Chain A
Amino acid sequence: MTGRQKVKTLSSDKKIAALAYDSALLSLALILSFVESVIPLSLPLPGFKAGLANIVITAVFFTASAREAAAVSAARVIIVFLLFGNPISLFLSFSGAFFSLASLFILSRSGISGKLSYIGVSLISALSHNTGQLLASTFIVGRSVFSYTPALVTAALLYGALSGLVLNILPKKILK
């Protein structure tokens, strides 16, 4: 085997490994989304979900790459829509996922994420997610939905902290 062939094989092995890793985590994100749709963890806030799948997306973002996290997140949004969604939920999920990923990207590129633990990162990501959904809802029903802002910020505080706590206690072998 020539050197060039060897490099080629190695890079394709890496690609397969990344594909397998991302697929496994996508399945995990889907299972968490399903669990949430069956067992509502919405506490006193009707219609709100804990966003457990965000734990997986954040983990992919920091262990693999922003691109892989975007791919897993987009695939999750589309599959959840095909399984139990409607066009409005697709639009809302997509906006939430986009804002939350964008916040992770900005935090990581600016170096701010290095000064926080996963709790701080998840709080910001959850707040961005809810901001994205709130802005998307204004396109559907108008600015009246802004009266939901306190509930959405409370949800971001509760569920962001929960996701961050899970990420903080994950073993270092899984998440550095």
Chain B
Amino acid sequence: MKSNPKKKLCGGDLAVFIIISAILALSLTPRLFDVGEAQGFSITTEQGTEHYLLGENREITVVSCGITLTVKVENGEVSVAKSSCPDGVCIASSPISRSGSIVCLPAKTVIKIDNDGEAESEDFIVG
């Protein structure tokens, strides 16, 4: 039987809002404990994973799935400076330094900060 929703805000909506906020809080929990300084980051492309140091300022050119990405490392922060992909989502992403990742789906590329705790499982995951 199809039951149409109400047209006015009700208690059920509040319950849904609280449950989704709880999911958000849970998904943020690992980041709250992740306060250590990261030493390096990895770039995973179609060809495999390469690890780099965060300390040295440089530009790295990555070619994956016919898309050329220029990854910029500056003052311990990693960002994508240039991309030949029309989406430009990776360029718009904020620079990452202590945790997080930048994903470019069309290039099947993930730039990710290496955290000590995850380092071992990471190789296994990305393979």
Chain A positions near chain B (C-beta within 8 angstroms):
46-47, 62, 66, 86, 88, 92, 108-109, 111-121, 123-124, 127, 137, 140-145, 147-150, 153-154, 156-157, 160-161, 164, 167-168, 172, 175-176
Chain A contact residues: helix, strand, loop or mixed: helix
The answer to whether B12 and A120 touch across the interface, beta carbons within 8 angstroms, is yes
The answer to whether A144 and B7 touch across the interface, beta carbons within 8 angstroms, is no
The answer to whether B109 and A123 touch across the interface, beta carbons within 8 angstroms, is no
Q: How many pairs of residues, A versus B, come closer than 8 Å at their CB atoms?
A: 125
The answer to whether A124 and B16 touch across the interface, beta carbons within 8 angstroms, is yes
Contacting residues of chain B (75-102) with chain A, CB-CB under 8 angstroms: 87, 89, 92-94, 99-101
Known: A47-B89, A119-B13, A172-B7. 19 other contacts (CB 8 A): A46-B93, A47-B92, A66-B2, A114-B3, A116-B16, A117-B6, A117-B9, A118-B6, A121-B5, A123-B16, A123-B20, A137-B103, A141-B44, A141-B110, A142-B126, A147-B112, A150-B31, A168-B9, A176-B4
Give a binary string over B1-41; 1 marks a CB under 8 Å from any A CB, 0 the rest: 11111111110110111001101100110010000000000
The answer to whether A142 and B20 touch across the interface, beta carbons within 8 angstroms, is no
The answer to whether B2 and A108 touch across the interface, beta carbons within 8 angstroms, is yes
B103 partner residues in chain A, CB cutoff 8 A: 137, 141, 144-145, 148
B13 partner residues in chain A, CB cutoff 8 A: 116-117, 119-120, 123, 164
Alpha-carbon gap, A122 to B1, bound state (A): 19
A149 partner residues in chain B, CB cutoff 8 A: 27
The 7 closest A-B pairs by CB, nearest first: A114-B3, A46-B92, A47-B89, A120-B13, A116-B12, A120-B16, A149-B27
In the assembled complex, B55 has its CB within 8 A of some CB on chain A? no
* Nearest CB in chain A: distance from B121 CB, A: 9
* Nearest CB in chain B: distance from A76 CB, A: 20
The answer to whether A108 and B3 touch across the interface, beta carbons within 8 angstroms, is yes
B9 partner residues in chain A, CB cutoff 8 A: 117, 119, 168
Contact among B6, B23, B92, B93 for A116, CB-based, below 8 A: B6
The answer to whether A141 and B108 touch across the interface, beta carbons within 8 angstroms, is yes
Alpha-carbon gap, A142 to B101, bound state (A): 12
The answer to whether B125 and A127 touch across the interface, beta carbons within 8 angstroms, is no
Alpha-carbon gap, A153 to B44, bound state (A): 25
The answer to whether B5 and A113 touch across the interface, beta carbons within 8 angstroms, is yes
* Nearest CB in chain B: distance from A55 CB, A: 13
The answer to whether B5 and A141 touch across the interface, beta carbons within 8 angstroms, is no
The answer to whether A117 and B5 touch across the interface, beta carbons within 8 angstroms, is yes
Asked if A154 meets B24 with Cβ closer than 8 Å, knowing A117-B12, A123-B13, A142-B126, the reply is yes
Alpha-carbon gap, A172 to B6, bound state (A): 11
* Nearest CB in chain A: distance from B123 CB, A: 11
B93 partner residues in chain A, CB cutoff 8 A: 46-47
30 contacts between A and B (CB under 8 A): A46-B89, A47-B89, A47-B93, A62-B2, A62-B4, A86-B106, A111-B1, A113-B5, A114-B3, A114-B4, A116-B5, A118-B5, A118-B6, A119-B16, A120-B5, A120-B12, A120-B17, A141-B110, A142-B44, A142-B110, A142-B126, A142-B127, A144-B44, A144-B101, A144-B103, A145-B110, A150-B28, A150-B31, A168-B8, A175-B7
